[in-house]
Each structure stands twice: as structure tokens, then as C-alpha cells.
Amino acid sequence: MKPELDNQSVHRYMRVYNYYKQLILSQQLAPGSRLPSIRRCAAELQMSRTTVETAYMVLAADGYIISRPQSGFYVTDIGRTRKTAEFQKSADQKKKKPVLYNFASASVDRETFRFELWRRYIKSALRQDERLLSYGEPQGEYDLREVLCRYLQNNRNVVCTPEHIVIGAGVQSLLHILCPLIEGRKKIAFYNPGFRQGRAVFEDHGFELCDRKQEQPDVCYVSPSQATAWGDVLSVGERMKILREASEKNILLIEDDYNSEFCYYHHPSPSIQGLAGGNGVIYLGTFSRLLLPSIRLSFMVLPPDLLEKYQRRRDFYNQTASKTEQIALCQFIRDGHLESQIRKSRKHYLAKTKILCSEAKRIFVEEAKVTAGETGFVSLLEIFGAGNLREVLYRAEEKGFAFLSADESDPSCSFLCSSSGGEVFRGVTAAEAVFLNFAMRFKNAFDGNTVSHADVVMRKHYERKRKWRDKRIKY
């Protein structure tokens, strides 16, 4: 008997499971090949049909085989996929270099968030014993929806009531709720680049992704405060144009307004949902950027027609967001800390973005162009005559730089440089610590030189800052 089948330390069905799993992973059973029937397998292995059936069910649950009605069980290609994935993972680990200067970060800076204050509100929420003993409302805690409604009306010109708001653990979870409500529409177009996770959700629900310039969609997904990857903001006129087009062609709009609070150079433009009077537009927002990425609290404002559909299906949905965090956030907003948090973060990231741009312009001069976005955390850096994009990215990675390419199909070297998630040095502001002599380091990396000169410059700067600070304290 095979070793997998002779192992007395595991249950019989697990012996059968391990036996066939090994055959599949070793490619002895090729993808598409048919397994013996339950009756035949039980006879060959001298086990009960119940044991074999259980093993087959576990194999199917883990994706190794698939059941075809009135045909039998067939091997999937998971063995080949996993083997390739494991090989690729091993190869990537060997090649991976430590990241010294991370400009592809999606995290937030520690200085922008008052952890001790948030802990206080979480502790206060945890003391509400009776309230925490029950499940949360499917639509979200009413008091949070109430304060959120006032905030959206006052700051984002959103037309809503607490009844129109649905709370969820991230935008993706809300999209899973939304898709069944708009299942009559089949084609969706995205105005803005990125958000692959959102595209995947719609594809999983049977929606067809299309190009709005070539064919008419049924649904359009737009982020007006992040019209480009580096943070261009759509004007009121452009928003009205989108709204008119949607009204004329009966297109449902989904407005993802996740970066509107970080508008640096002017007041945030009114939301498309507000311009539409609350009709025909689904409004999405999140607190992950405003507070912490780990605080998975997002919200969705439904128009009246979709709200009726949701109300009929509401009992089928469980609340995905933490009830404790909802209670804490509600009081956090009531006490005015959300708006102060936004002001602090906006000032912090604007300073970092300005230093990035000034340093890049100072060092590269005419060799590169840097474009700071009107909102968000990302700037666009275009390097002229730097060669192949993939080659440059590889050379940057070898020197410890991490970047995101703006457009892989673009032959020019265009990078997205995030101004969040940088290292912090004692005696120097976060902005200066991250972006001081960034361009010099970057250029030297591409020239194949060392970064020793930049290191010297940074040390001199730190020394000047220290002396200035000590003098200020003394006098």
C-alpha cells in the first residue's frame, strides 16, 4: 500500500485525500483526467464508499478536483498553477532587494494620527457592554449614520438622510452589496485609472468592462477628486458635463470620492451626487485614508430607487464593519476631531509634496518634469532620455528605490511618487527627512554612482537643524 494510505495516524478519508493530492501535485494525474468513481475507488482501496466520498468532497473544496454532474470527478489545473506560483515565489524572494526609499507606499505617516486619542475613544466604546452584546445593524449604527449625514451635507454637498447611508468594511464590501441592486445593467466603464480591486468585484458579478469612448456603458465609475493617478481634480464644469451625459444616456453613476478632503490648492468642488440632487448617483467614501488604513470603515449613499431595493434585501446582509469602531468613530466625529485630523494631515502631506517637487526640479532641471497633483498623495515624475522604463525600474530597485510606473504602455519613464509612508529622523520634519536630496539620490542611482554625496549633504543638513534647535532652546 502507498505510504499516504498506510499512515495510521490520520483519518481514513485524509489518507485518500493526501494520496490523490500528491498524485495531482506531482502531475501524475494530469489536468482534465478523470478520477475513478466512488464505487470503484472504494473497491480498489478497500475502504467504504462514505470514506472515499468524503475525501473527494474535501479535494473539491480545496480546488484540486471538480465535480461534473452525471459524469464524475475531474482534475483541475491547480497542481500546475501552485507549482508555478511556488517556483515564482522562491525566485522573487531571491531577487528581492531591501527597500530603502519607498515612494510606492500606500500607508499613512505616523505623525498625522493621534493614536492615544483614538485609543481613548476605542476604550470608551468597549465600556458600552450592553450595546456590544448584540449584532450591529445591517445598514450600520444609526448614530454614526446620523453624524456622517451632517458631515457630508456640510462638507461635501451630498444630498442624503441617515436612511440613505450604508456602512461597510471597505469600499469593496459595499460594492458586493451594490452589484445585486443594479444587476439589470451589464456594462460598466471606469473614467479613472486604477482600482483593480473594484474592477474585479464587478467582473465577479458578471459585469462587462468596456471603454466609454467606444461603446455606451450602463454604469460609469468615476473618482472626480482623483481624475488621474497623480491627483487631478475635475472642475464643476467637467462634473456637470458627466452628469448631463449620464442623464441623456440613462447611465448610472458611481462616484468614489475618497480623496476630496485632501484638496490642497482650493476648496473641494461640490460632489456630482449633490449636483444631481441625490438622484441617479451612488456616492462612496472611506475613512481609511483620513484616519488609518486598518480602520476599515467606508460608506455608501444610495439614491431613492436603489434604497427601496436595498431595504427589501437588507435582512440578507450582515454588517461587515466593526461595531466597536463605529461607536468610537461616531463620538470622534461629534467631538470635532475628524475635521482637525483632516487639517493636520492636509498640511503635513502638502509640505512633503512641495519638498519632493522642489528637490526634483533643483537637481534634474531640464532633464525631468515633476507634476504635483491637486489632491491626494502622489506626484508624477517624468524623466527624459532615461531609457527603457522596465530597465530603469530594475536599476532603481537594485539601488533600494520603490516606485510605481504611471503607465506601463507609455515608452517614457513616468513614475508615481507617493508622499506618504516615509521614514522619520530625529530633529528633522518628516517631509525633510523623506525628500531631502531625493532627486540627487535618484539621479545617482540611474547614473550607476554611489549615493555617498547625498549622504554627506543630508548629514550636514541634520547638523544644521540640530544646532539651530539647540540655539533656540538655549536663547
pLDDT band, very low/low/confident/very high, at 474 (cuts 50, 70, 90): very low
In order of start, what are the domains of the chain with their CATH numbers? 3-81 (1.10.10.10), 101-110+342-474 (3.90.1150.10), 135-335 (3.40.640.10)
Distance CA 172, CA 200 (A): 9
Q: What is the pLDDT of residue 435?
A: 41
Helix (H, G, I), strand (E, B) or coil at 166: strand
pTM for the complete prediction?
0.68
In SS3 terms, 63-81 reads as CCEEEECCCEEEECCHHHH
pLDDT digits (tens, 9 = 90+) for 149-196: 999 998 888 999 999 999 998 888 999 999 999 888 889 988 876 678
pLDDT digits (tens, 9 = 90+) for 433-467: 444 445 455 555 555 443 334 444 444 554 555 55
96 sits in the region (left: phi over 0; alpha: psi -120 to 50; else beta) called beta
pLDDT band, very low/low/confident/very high, at 329 (cuts 50, 70, 90): very high
Phi, psi of 257, rounded to the nearest 5 degrees: -105, 50
pLDDT digits (tens, 9 = 90+) for 400-430: 777 776 665 555 567 777 776 554 333 334 3
Partners of 255 in beta bridges: 222, 283
Going by their DSSP bridges, the two strands 404-405 and 378-383 should be labelled as unpaired
Going by their DSSP bridges, the two strands 101-102 and 401-402 should be labelled as parallel
Going by their DSSP bridges, the two strands 368-372 and 378-383 should be labelled as antiparallel
Q: Which of 16-30, 132-146, 257-271 has the lowest mean pLDDT?
A: 257-271
- 144-158, 310-324, 456-470, range with greatest mean pLDDT: 144-158
Q: Which three cell numbers stand for residue 207?
A: 459585469
What's CA 334's distance to the chain center, in Å? 27
Q: What is the pLDDT of residue 425?
A: 32
Task: Round the average pLDDT of the chain to a whole number and report it.
Answer: 77
